[in-house]
Amino acid sequence: MTGKGPDGAGTLVCYRPNPMKAVRIHSFGGPDVLQVEDIPKPKPREGEVLIRVHAASVNPVDYKIRSHEFALPGMKPPLVLGRDVSGVVEGVGRGVTRVKMGDEVYALLDPDHGGYAEYTIAKENGVALKPSTLDHIHAAAVPLAAITAWQGLFDHGKLKAGERVLIHGAGGGVGHFAVQFARERDAYVIATGRAEDRDLLEGLGADEIFDTTERFEAQLRDIDLVLDLVAGETQQRSWSVLKKGGRLVSTLKPPTAAEASRHQAQAIGFMAEPNRDELAEIARLIDDGKVKVVVRQVMPLADARHAHEYMEREHVLGKVVLVVDSEIPTETAAPV
């Protein structure tokens, strides 16, 4: 049923009886802390969108939050994990104008609302119409990884046509988008990955590929931009390949200003931020056939614990996705 919000101010919500299914943690720890529970269905406030989730992506940041390896201020259990989803708009708060009831959307969520649930809340700035050529499973795999790649390359890395970019961890969720975005901007793309990543990276358009066992720094010079998705000693070895004034952008350990100064380079660390215009542009590239989405493993929501175990144990090419809508059979989304 549809009606005004509790304050009578015109919030449009399509209500369904509570509760809803969600996967939450009540303490930090191993995969066993993930519990399927019934919790209240959320309601959108001003500027927010209620999404009936069809599929939710699993990202490395999820298990890092779960294990308390990574934390944001104020983030404490109980928590519903998951930063990106694909689904249908079920309700909109006051002031929302870019999407409406019934729209098929994909979204990058703020940390205070998770995607491992039948319903979630997203701020309007994190919601865009999903790529029309993708099903919900593949659309859910896009927002966080693709926005991270986009912002790392263009917003922070200032990558331009003709420049040389070195992408570390290029076979992963963020990396496989970064290779395609850089190629689409006519950059010269050099990728590092494991031996089993080579076929994928060649198919995505990388110009050069280095196995992680190779000393890339012995062969590369005059790189304009390093997109570091690995950190550790790989980041340290990357300074020497940058040209004077080059940029090193990392999503993990922030590179130090002192190290950058020593190598006459720029150092940027960042976290992805929701951006509906960038999501819309990424959807256009996907629908135009210029970017493809690699989903490696699909599991039902109830198997979130196994999804975390899989991601922590295996080297994952592409993305892992949880199916939330029970009417979507997981076997129809075979790995790409």
Cα atoms in the Cβ-side hemisphere of radius 13 Å centred on 111: 16
Q: Are 116 and 65 in contact (CB under 8 A)?
A: no
Spatial separation of the C-alpha atoms in residues 120 and 55, rounded to whole Å: 11
The string of pLDDT tens digits covering residues 63-85 is: 999 999 988 777 889 999 999 99
Spatial separation of the C-alpha atoms in residues 319 and 142, rounded to whole Å: 9
Supply the pLDDT for residue 7. Answer: 45
Spatial separation of the C-alpha atoms in residues 224 and 307, rounded to whole Å: 36
Q: Which of 254, 269, 272 is nearest to 144 (CA)?
A: 272
Supply the angle between the helices 143-150 and 276-287 in degrees, to the nearest 10: 100
Helix (H, G, I), strand (E, B) or coil at 64: helix
Entry pTM:
0.91
The string of pLDDT tens digits covering residues 203-251 is: 999 999 999 899 999 999 999 999 999 989 999 999 999 999 999 999 9
Spatial separation of the C-alpha atoms in residues 171 and 206, rounded to whole Å: 11
Residue whose token pair is 């006051």: 94
Q: Quick one: pLDDT band at residue 12, thresholds 50, 70, 90?
A: low
Q: Are 306 and 36 in contact (CB under 8 A)?
A: no
Q: Over range 105-129, report the average pLDDT.
A: 96
Beta bridge partners of 128: 106
Q: Are 234 and 175 in contact (CB under 8 A)?
A: no
The string of pLDDT tens digits covering residues 245-303 is: 999 999 988 888 888 999 999 999 999 999 999 999 999 999 999 999 999 999 999 99
Ordered domains of the chain (ranges, CATH): 2-142+293-332 (3.90.180.10), 145-269 (3.40.50.720)
